[in-house]
Structure 1
Amino acid sequence: WNVPAYHFDPTGEYGARCPVVADPSHSNEVTFRACDHITAGRHSTELFVDAAVRFLETVSRSAPFFMSVALLAPHDPRTMPERFRSMVDPEGIALPANVLREHPIDTGALRIRDEMLAAHPREPVEIRRHIAEYYAMIAHLDHGFGRLVAALQARGVLDRTVIVVAGDNGLAVGQHGLMGKQNLYDHSVRVPLVLAGPGVPSGRRSDALVYLLDLFPTLCALAGVEVPPSVDGRNLIPCMTGDCAGGREVLYLAYADSIRGVTDGRHKLIEYACGATQLFDLSRDPLEMDDLSCRASSGPLLERLRQQVRRLALEWDDERHPAGRAFWARRADLL
């Protein structure tokens, strides 16, 4: 609500500031927020969708256009209009089996802001409330998305528009004793990715391993535009048509300077800067509850995945980044 925002600035500077008294009950100190206006009483999802709909009302029915709508939802603080909040009863939510009271390993981020949104140790009643608010905010987001689709249809361009719905990260919301995204479990790194429109087969699902950076060359291909040589991503059209050659054999996973990992779709290895290791068989343990890393029988698999971590760290120039250098300095045993 009441999100500080900017009108479009063709210079790209966005230098305007609005005055605010943050604590008027105790101080008259004036500070300045980075914005040129605030729309009182309007939720960010509605604010952004309103702007997107206005843009769609002006697009040509024949010329190409591109629009990116980066909603703040469902980021905390999770608020939404009451009619969406009332859709979800916290008492009716069944907690996932991997909800824990505390995370057993130092992730390097156990006391950051995200993890302080719920009390330590985690309590089921509070986690249910957070999940209910998460679902309600997604319902509000979905309503906004429906408005965008309706605007495309009203303008007569829906049938020639490629639509992509993607998330930049997931969220733990109590799973593994965590609240935020600062980990490498599937609930936080496996994000929604849905495409629809001309050139996209309908009703298909793919288990291919992909990065969000693969969207750029994919959209270029769907639009008939040449992919710039500087682009690292891969065209996902083969994955959409049933040829998984367009995907990747393994994904490199990283969080800040404290966690690295890989997954090949079936197995996942997670290495922590504190020295801990986790190994999961996702095919039989999708909630990542049974750590196999200490089992003698897992030795060959563990070494194979560690080789992949080393290879991909080099491939992605991880040690050239300050966060990567810090991690590998603490986990030289993996090199």
Structure 2
Amino acid sequence: MPLEKRPNILLVVADDHRADAIGTLGHPVVHTPTLDGLIERGTIFTNTRIMGSLIPAVCAPSRACLLTGRNLFQADGYTYCEPRPSNDVPIHPEYVTLPQYFREHNYETFITGKWHNDGPSAVRSFESGRNIFHGGMSPHDEVPVRSLSGIKEGRPAKVAEGFSSEVFCNTAIDFLQNHDKSRPFFMWLALTSPHDPRTPPPPYDTLYDQDSIPLPLNFLPEHPFDNGELSIRDELLAPHPRTGKTIQKELADYYGLISHHDACLGRVLDCLSRTGLEEGTIVVYVSDHGLAIGSHGLLGKQNLYEHSVRVPFILSGPGVPKGLRSSHCAYSLDLFSTLCELSKVPVLPNLESRSLVPILADKSDNFRDVFFSVYSGFQRSVYDGRWKLICYAMGGEERLQLFDLLEDPLELYDRIEDGSCSAIVQRLLDSLQEWQNVNGDPTINKNENVAPHRLVQSASLSQTQLYNQ
């Protein structure tokens, strides 16, 4: 395709946004008019999930998968390294990133917002960037930021003036207003919202009446058993056992952050329209992972329940059908090949990423048969489109959970003791073992014929060791 006819790409990556926390999807509380409009003008994949993480900072490896289109064990550059850094995941220099690949095809690549991977991968991916937060989390009103050249040269960060979502979206608007239209652009706009600290600015801090917010239908005061990660930082943000009032307060602030960044994104999309760029721009909205925030007695994302592994995934623009809500299962890392095909950029071979364009064109009924997710060294899950098995190994003990997601999407009823499901369990275990072996899951000791659900002894390690493993 001639360069001038290739679509622009605006890729928005949220932080901690659950897949169900969008108004037009039927959420009973949260207001998201910008995202609602984006869905009406485009397509949402309602069953999109991440592959997971080997560290508690789920953001970093999930973003590495998204950026490289590779499975977790490839994308995580420290999978086989000891000790590993505490919060970022370096991307192997031999792996081309999504923005880097578009840069190589003469796109102007620009970054603003959160970058949770290594600095060199950012430098090779983008031509320019401003107000970049290089890290995992910070106060929203005191975000330390640098330019891309500042990251390259190792200059210290400076605290930005303003609230995180406003800073990043204002920077995106400035780029759009000054963009040279002779070249297509690829913009990485990565928010730190709605990640904690959950401190929405006025008037969004009082937008939701916490006393009237319904609790999640799968709310529990405590998780029913030790999943290996009940004392992680995220789970200590509220006391145990959880109370309804506590979770309502967390939800009010969480929804406030989402509605605030939704409004900020609305200004970015308005700018696209004013500058005549809207019709030629593919807009993507995706999150790096979900969040429990009261579901199953948990607060964080260090688990493999649906609320934590499923993410919103919205596409709009050239080549994307309007008003389509697809229930096809997908990984968020499928974005790599999808954007390539939509942009008529050659699709890179040998990636885990698969293009979703056949689904957009209604020419595919069977995308993938089975999906896998990972958390640290002691949780694994496998999902076949209906049945989902979660495997735990903590302190030498093993535990399995089985859910029928067609009948029980909130994972309320564990079917593992149902004798009629034994064949299903074995089939899923066999599938998991094959996937682990083929993809080099580092927790499997292939020389000792370890059972497919026996992972490693990581659950007995301290929190500090878990961050450094």
TM-score by length of 1: 0.88
RMSD: 2.0
Q: How do residues 62-73 of structure 1 correspond to structure 2 at under 5 angstroms?
A: 62-73=182-193
Alignment partner, residue 3 of structure 1: 143
Q: Tell me which amino acid in the other structure corresponds to 1:294.
A: E
Structure with larger RCO (C-alpha < 8 A, sep 6+): 2
Q: What's the CA shift for 1:332?
A: 3.0
* Residues 81-90 or 121-130, more deviating: 81-90
Equivalent residues of 2:429, 2:452 under 8 A apart: no
Alignment partner, residue 29 of structure 1: none
Looking at structure 2, the residues matched to 59 and 311 of structure 1 have their Cα atoms a distance apart, in angstroms, of 48
1:44 partnered with 2:164: yes
Looking at structure 2, the residues matched to 328 and 93 of structure 1 have their Cα atoms a distance apart, in angstroms, of 52
- Cα distance change of structure 1 residues 328 and 262 upon mapping to structure 2, 3 Å threshold: farther
Q: Tell me which amino acid in the other structure corresponds to 1:300.
A: A
- Cα distance change of structure 1 residues 244 and 278 upon mapping to structure 2, 3 Å threshold: farther
Q: Tell me which amino acid in the other structure corresponds to 2:155.
A: A
Looking at structure 1, the residues matched to 179 and 365 of structure 2 have their Cα atoms a distance apart, in angstroms, of 36
Alignment partner, residue 226 of structure 2: 106
Q: Which is richer in strand?
A: 2
Q: What's the CA shift for 1:325?
A: 4.1
Alignment partner, residue 331 of structure 2: 211
Tell me which of 405, 408, 430 is aligned to 1:307. Answer: 430
User: Structure 2 unaligned runs (5+)?
Assistant: 1-140, 455-469
Looking at structure 1, the residues matched to 237 and 364 of structure 2 have their Cα atoms a distance apart, in angstroms, of 40
Looking at structure 1, the residues matched to 349 and 248 of structure 2 have their Cα atoms a distance apart, in angstroms, of 47
Alignment partner, residue 451 of structure 2: 332
Equivalent residues of 2:199, 2:257 under 8 A apart: yes
Q: What's the CA shift for 1:54?
A: 1.0
Structure 1 SS opposite 2:314:
strand
* Residues 257-266 or 156-165, more deviating: 257-266
Structure 1 SS opposite 2:330:
coil
What per-residue deviation string (whole Å, max 9, x for no partner) do you get for residues 17-72 of structure 1?
Answer: 3xxxxxxxxxxxxxxxxx1x2124x1111111111111111223342110010100
Looking at structure 2, the residues matched to 92 and 162 of structure 1 have their Cα atoms a distance apart, in angstroms, of 37
Alignment partner, residue 265 of structure 1: 385
Larger radius of gyration: 1
1:90 partnered with 2:207: no
Alignment partner, residue 152 of structure 2: 13
TM-score by length of 2: 0.64
Looking at structure 2, the residues matched to 149 and 2 of structure 1 have their Cα atoms a distance apart, in angstroms, of 25
Looking at structure 2, the residues matched to 328 and 265 of structure 1 have their Cα atoms a distance apart, in angstroms, of 32
1:298 partnered with 2:426: no
Looking at structure 2, the residues matched to 65 and 159 of structure 1 have their Cα atoms a distance apart, in angstroms, of 14
Structure 1 SS opposite 2:218:
coil
Alignment partner, residue 257 of structure 2: 137
- Cα distance change of structure 1 residues 333 and 316 upon mapping to structure 2, 3 Å threshold: closer
Equivalent residues of 2:328, 2:367 under 8 A apart: yes
Alignment partner, residue 82 of structure 2: none
Tell me which of 228, 232, 236 is aligned to 2:356. Answer: 236
Q: What's the CA shift for 1:328?
A: 11
What per-residue deviation string (whole Å, max 9, x for no partner) do you get for residues 171-230 of structure 1?
Answer: 000100000001111111110000000100111111111111110110011111002235
Alignment partner, residue 316 of structure 1: 439
What per-residue deviation string (whole Å, max 9, x for no partner) do you get for residues 72-106 of structure 1?
Answer: 00000011112112211111111122111111222
1:150 partnered with 2:270: yes
Q: Tell me which amino acid in the other structure corresponds to 2:147.
A: H
Percent identity of the aligned residues? 41
Alignment partner, residue 119 of structure 1: 239
Equivalent residues of 1:208, 1:244 under 8 A apart: no
- Cα distance change of structure 1 residues 76 and 124 upon mapping to structure 2, 3 Å threshold: same
- Cα distance change of structure 1 residues 246 and 152 upon mapping to structure 2, 3 Å threshold: farther
